[in-house]
């Protein structure tokens, strides 16, 4: 695929210079100091010096800083938010690292050859082979390193299939891990500064990401009930021990921060990067805003940018991404406004994959969008476009579903928004977000227009403005597929992946059930995301590259501040955190070794 950034620029005819364009113009000239003066602030003054300055206390940044410290380098982390953890702390913390020691010990039949074949097939030609190889080679070492140098331990997410298990080297039983339960007391007072999770765990329960699949089924499946009881038991046991149990992203960010505490690495909160500092074309520090003053932190060995994506930058979304898009459908951390990417661009970095994101269908609920996982895969639901017609395998990987929404969205056939249609039978059986089966949906969801309810399919069609006959025809055809157990249009349930969030008691196809029991519901579906995946182009050593392929000395990027090693795809659960942590580790090791 051609470089989306270049395409966009070639095709765009902006009315006038944007703030972004002006700032880009204020970039380094002849290796001059990029100061706050260029950005309207006061002059920067040199105050401190470290070997390595890491920007962002998220997954990539904290892993990088921990590595740097353990390699004997003096490292500091500067963080924009009043909390640490970024999106990583909000996340489910699935981590996709083929051939790591945890999955090998669990008996996963992975090999380097299988992983290489699979990743190559998933990312196609978009990502240089050397970067793929670097990720696969360093990933297992990174995970072992983190376990040796922090309180983090990981568990295999058994059964969470790779997203394309049928590809060569794909693993139907999965190769993802997630953090084990961590006692938050290891963080001491720092625990209060941990960025909260996206969806809080119900009080008294300890829940892993791998439990979620079963909790959605807890009303209809004995294993679901058993898992719900186990979550409560874990919570009770932790309370009796006086612990503050953390799991998922809370455990990941908390554990990495605990590692930094033990290694004596300072993390300066409320200290946003303002710009990179360059001398003679080399990145030799950063200008930050600290206590209202612009401060220069010199980095004698290197700067690692791990400041996340640009999901909350309306200007960058508008400039680089397909429309409609904004900043209200993402669930990423709100501080992720592309600051590091823009600073890198001013320093001469090439950008890539800027049109893409870690997409997923989301419901624009009041307050915060809801990123749909199991809800669109469980039997008894369909996704339809504005013409009332199905357009995708509802159980497909979430990124793929949104790519289809954008690809097919035309004035003649609106796919944004799309609608998730379910019946009462579905609502009687499955958890929906945090609403238990049978319980009514919150009134605010209806008031906001995110959900509609009607007693017939025709009435529902009318409420959401799609042709009544078309929606009726779609439901009738889908119901025939459900009874037969074969989705002849989109093959839902054919892949092992589709069956992960399914209902094993529904036969003959655990992903398919007819929609027949009124009332019926329609949930508005928009292109949500976990964050963006485009950023600075990097090489296999995580060094930032210019458009001509040359390296910007001293400058490294990892995580969503860099172009993703996954290209436009998504290999399995944890395809953003696994590479983010790995390239943070690679960057710090490269600095230590050169």
Ligand X SMILES: Cc1cc2nc3c(=O)[nH]c(=O)nc-3n(C[C@H](O)[C@H](O)[C@H](O)COP(=O)(O)OP(=O)(O)OC[C@H]3O[C@@H](n4cnc5c(N)ncnc54)[C@H](O)[C@@H]3O)c2cc1C
Applying CB under 6 A, the residues found at the interface with ligand X are 55-61, 78-81, 86-88, 90-94, 198, 272-273, 306-308, 331-333, 335-336, 339, 358, 530-531, 559-561, 574-577, 580
Name the residue nearer to ligand X (CB basis): 89 or 471. 89
Rounded to the nearest whole angstrom, what is the least distance from the CB of residue 404 to ligand X in the complex? 21
Rounded to the nearest whole angstrom, what is the least distance from the CB of residue 183 to ligand X in the complex? 21
Closest listed residue to residue 54, CA positions, set 483, 585, 593:
585
Rounded to the nearest whole angstrom, what is the least distance from the CB of residue 372 to ligand X in the complex? 12
Name the residue nearer to ligand X (CB basis): 99 or 575. 575
CB 513 within 8 A of CB 429: no
Burial class of 385 by CB neighbour count within 10 A (0 to 12, 13 to 18, 19+):
buried
Rounded to the nearest whole angstrom, what is the least distance from the CB of residue 147 to ligand X in the complex? 18
Name the residue nearer to ligand X (CB basis): 23 or 384. 23
Rounded to the nearest whole angstrom, what is the least distance from the CB of residue 581 to ligand X in the complex? 8
Rounded to the nearest whole angstrom, what is the least distance from the CB of residue 168 to ligand X in the complex? 23
Name the residue nearer to ligand X (CB basis): 385 or 532. 532
Give CA torsion, residues 82, 83, 85, 88, to 10 deg.
Answer: -80
CB 123 within 8 A of CB 565: yes
Return all residues near 465 (Cβ < 8 A) that are at least 6 apart.
386
Name the residue nearer to ligand X (CB basis): 156 or 520. 156
How far is CA 552 from each of CA 248, 272, 283, 288, rounded to the nearest angstrom?
35, 22, 7, 20
**DSSP 8-state class, residue 368:** S
Rounded to the nearest whole angstrom, what is the least distance from the CB of residue 577 to ligand X in the complex? 3
Beta strand extents in 24-132 (DSSP E only): 45-55, 75-78, 95-96
CB 152 within 8 A of CB 184: no
Name the residue nearer to ligand X (CB basis): 86 or 364. 86
- What stretch of H or E contains 156? strand 154-156
Q: Round to whole Å and give the CA distance between 443 and 439.
A: 12
Rounded to the nearest whole angstrom, what is the least distance from the CB of residue 200 to ligand X in the complex? 12
Q: Round to whole Å and give the CA distance between 186 and 262.
A: 10
Provide the 10 A C-beta neighbour count for residue 166: 12
Strands 182-183, 381-384: pairing is unpaired
CB 375 within 8 A of CB 432: yes
Burial class of 548 by CB neighbour count within 10 A (0 to 12, 13 to 18, 19+):
exposed
Name the residue nearer to ligand X (CB basis): 424 or 560. 560
How far is CA 388 from each of CA 420, 471, 509, 578, rounded to the nearest angstrom?
10, 5, 23, 38
Name the residue nearer to ligand X (CB basis): 303 or 460. 303
Name the residue nearer to ligand X (CB basis): 337 or 509. 337
| Residue 201 CB-half CA count within 13 A | 26
Name the residue nearer to ligand X (CB basis): 56 or 554. 56
Residue of closest CB approach to ligand X:
58
Rounded to the nearest whole angstrom, what is the least distance from the CB of residue 252 to ligand X in the complex? 9
Rounded to the nearest whole angstrom, what is the least distance from the CB of residue 374 to ligand X in the complex? 14
Rounded to the nearest whole angstrom, what is the least distance from the CB of residue 175 to ligand X in the complex? 13
CB 20 within 8 A of CB 315: yes
Name the residue nearer to ligand X (CB basis): 92 or 285. 92
Provide the 10 A C-beta neighbour count for residue 18: 14
Name the residue nearer to ligand X (CB basis): 464 or 545. 545
Under DSSP, is residue 141 helix (H, G, I), strand (E, B) or coil?
A: helix
Rounded to the nearest whole angstrom, what is the least distance from the CB of residue 573 to ligand X in the complex? 6
Rounded to the nearest whole angstrom, what is the least distance from the CB of residue 199 to ligand X in the complex? 7
Rounded to the nearest whole angstrom, what is the least distance from the CB of residue 587 to ligand X in the complex? 12
Q: Round to whole Å and give the CA distance between 430 and 226.
A: 15
CB 278 within 8 A of CB 284: yes
How far is CA 163 from each of CA 100, 173, 400, 498, 560, rounded to the nearest angstrom?
18, 11, 10, 9, 20
Name the residue nearer to ligand X (CB basis): 140 or 559. 559
- What stretch of H or E contains 415? none
Counting every residue, how long is the chain?
594
Name the residue nearer to ligand X (CB basis): 289 or 385. 289
């Amino acid at each position: 695929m051609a470089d989306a950034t270049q395409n966009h620029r070639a095709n765009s005819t902006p009315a006038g210079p944007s703030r972004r364009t002006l700032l880009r113009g204020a970039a380094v000239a002849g290796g001059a100091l990029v100061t706050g003066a260029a950005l309207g602030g006061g002059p920067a003054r040199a105050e401190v010096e470290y070997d390595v300055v890491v920007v962002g206390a998220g997954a990539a940044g904290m892993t990088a800083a921990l590595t740097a410290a353990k390699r004997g380098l003096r490292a500091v982390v500067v963080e924009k938010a009043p909390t640490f953890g970024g999106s990583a702390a909000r996340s489910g913390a699935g981590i996709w690292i083929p051939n790591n020691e945890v999955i090998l010990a669990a008996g996963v039949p992975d090999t380097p050859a299988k992983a290489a074949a699979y990743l190559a097939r998933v990312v196609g030609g978009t990502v240089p082979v050397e970067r793929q190889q670097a990720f696969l080679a360093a990933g297992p070492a990174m995970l072992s390193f983190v376990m040796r140098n922090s309180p983090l331990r990981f568990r295999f997410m058994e059964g969470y299939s790779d997203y394309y298990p049928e590809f060569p080297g794909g693993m139907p039983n999965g190769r993802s891990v997630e953090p084990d339960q961590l006692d938050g007391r290891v963080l001491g007072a720092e625990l209060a500064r941990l960025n909260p999770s996206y969806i809080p765990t119900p009080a008294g329960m300890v829940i892993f990401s791998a439990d979620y699949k079963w909790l959605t089924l807890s009303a209809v499946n004995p294993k679901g009930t058993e898992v719900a009881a186990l979550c409560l038991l874990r919570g009770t046991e932790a309370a009796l021990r006086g612990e503050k149990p953390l799991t998922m992203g809370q455990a990941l960010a908390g554990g990495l921060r605990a590692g930094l505490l033990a290694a004596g690495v300072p993390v300066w909160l409320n200290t946003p990067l303002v710009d990179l500092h360059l001398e003679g074309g080399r990145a030799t520090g950063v200008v930050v805003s600290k206590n209202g003053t612009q401060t220069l932190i010199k980095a004698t060995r290197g700067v690692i940018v791990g400041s996340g994506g640009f999901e909350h930058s309306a200007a960058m979304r508008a400039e680089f991404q397909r429309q409609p898009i904004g900043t209200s459908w993402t669930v990423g951390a709100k501080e992720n406004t592309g600051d590091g990417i823009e600073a890198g661009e001013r320093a001469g970095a090439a950008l890539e994959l800027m049109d893409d994101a870690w997409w997923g269908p989301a419901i624009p609920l009041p307050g915060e969008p809801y990123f749909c996982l199991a809800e669109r895969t469980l039997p008894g639901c369909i996704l339809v476009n504005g013409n009332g017609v199905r357009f995708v395998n509802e159980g497909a990987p979430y990124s793929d579903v949104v790519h289809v929404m954008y690809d097919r969205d035309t004035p003649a056939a609106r796919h944004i928004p799309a609608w998730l249609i379910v019946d009462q039978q579905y609502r009687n059986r499955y958890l929906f977000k945090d609403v238990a089966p049978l319980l009514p949906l919150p009134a605010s969801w209806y008031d906001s227009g995110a959900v509609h309810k009607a007693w017939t399919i025709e009435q529902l069609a009318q409420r959401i403005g799609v042709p009544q006959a078309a929606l009726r025809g779609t439901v009738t055809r889908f119901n025939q597929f459900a009874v037969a157990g074969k989705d002849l249009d989109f093959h839902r349930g054919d892949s092992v992946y589709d069956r992960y969030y399914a209902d094993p008691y529904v036969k003959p196809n655990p992903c398919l059930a007819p929609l027949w029991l009124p009332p019926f519901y329609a949930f508005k579906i928009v292109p949500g995301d976990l964050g963006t995946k485009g950023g600075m182009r990097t090489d296999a050593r995580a060094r930032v590259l210019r458009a001509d392929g040359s390296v910007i000395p001293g400058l490294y990027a990892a995580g969503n501040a860099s172009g993703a090693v996954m290209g436009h795809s998504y290999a399995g659960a944890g395809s953003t955190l696994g590479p983010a942590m790995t390239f943070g580790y690679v960057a710090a090791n490269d600095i230590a070794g050169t």
